[in-house]
Structure 1
Amino acid sequence: MTKVTAQMSVSLDGFYTGPRAAKDTKGWMRGPEAPGFFRVTRWAVDAAAWRERQGFAGGERSVDSEIVEETFAAAGAYVMGRRMFDAGEFPWGDEPPFHAPVFVVTHRPREVLERQGGTSFTFVTEGLERAIELARDAAGGKDVAVSGGGELLRQVLAAGLLDQLDLHIAPVLLGEGQHLFGPGLGLGADDGIELVPDRVVDSPGVTHIRYTVTGRSKLVLDDRGASGELVGPAASEQRSAL
Structure 2
Amino acid sequence: MGKVIAEISMSADGIVAGPGTSTEHRLGRGGDLLHEWLFEGTDADSEIAAKLFDGTGAFVVGRTMFDVGVDPWGEDGTFKKPVFVVTNRPHEPVVKGPTTFTFVTDGPESALRQAKAAAGQDNVVLMGGGTTLRQYLLAGLVDELRLHVVPLLFGAGVRLFDAEAGEHVKLERTAVVETPNATHLTFRVPR
Which deviations, in whole Å up to 9, do the C-alpha atoms of 1:44-65 show, x marking residues without a partner?
Answer: 1225xxxxxxxxxxxx6x0110
In structure 2, how many angstroms separate the alpha carbons of the residues matched to 1:95 and 1:113?
11
State the match for 1:152 in structure 2: 132
Which deviations, in whole Å up to 9, do the C-alpha atoms of 1:119-152 show, x marking residues without a partner?
Answer: 1011111111000000000002111000110000
Residue 26 of structure 2 corresponds to residue 34 of structure 1? no
Q: Is the contact made by 1:76 and 1:138 (CA closer than 8 Å) also made in structure 2?
A: yes
Number of paired residues?
A: 191
Structure 2 segments unaligned to the other structure (5+ residues): none
Query: TM-score, normalised to structure 1's length?
Result: 0.74
SS in 1 for 2:60: strand
The alpha carbon displacement at 1:187 in A equals: 4.8
Q: Is the contact made by 2:9 and 2:147 (CA closer than 8 Å) also made in structure 1?
A: yes
Please identify which structure carries the higher helix content.
1
SS in 2 for 1:175: coil
Quickly say closer, same or farther: Cα 1:199–1:28, change in 2 above 3 A. Answer: same
Q: Is the contact made by 1:114 and 1:120 (CA closer than 8 Å) also made in structure 2?
A: yes
Residue 4 of structure 2 corresponds to residue 9 of structure 1? no
Query: TM-score, normalised to structure 2's length?
Result: 0.93
The alpha carbon displacement at 1:154 in A equals: 0.6
Alignment map for 1:37-52 (pairs within 5 Å): 37-47=31-41
Tell me the percent identity: 42
State the match for 1:73 in structure 2: 54
State the match for 1:94 in structure 2: 75
Compare CA radii of gyration and give the structure with the larger one.
1
Q: Is the contact made by 1:20 and 1:178 (CA closer than 8 Å) also made in structure 2?
A: no
Structure 2 counterpart of 1:93, one-letter code: G
Q: Is the contact made by 2:173 and 2:188 (CA closer than 8 Å) also made in structure 1?
A: yes
* Aligned equivalent of 2:170, options 175, 191, 194: 194
**What's the RMSD between the two structures over aligned residues?**
1.7
| Runs of 4+ off more than 6 Å | none
Which deviations, in whole Å up to 9, do the C-alpha atoms of 1:15-73 show, x marking residues without a partner?
Answer: 1122246xxxxx343488130x21121101225xxxxxxxxxxxx6x011011112111
Question: Higher relative contact order at CA 8 Å, sep ≥6: structure 1 or structure 2?
Answer: 2
Structure 1 segments unaligned to the other structure (5+ residues): 22-26, 48-59, 216-242
The alpha carbon displacement at 1:76 in A equals: 0.6
SS in 2 for 1:214: coil
SS in 2 for 1:98: coil
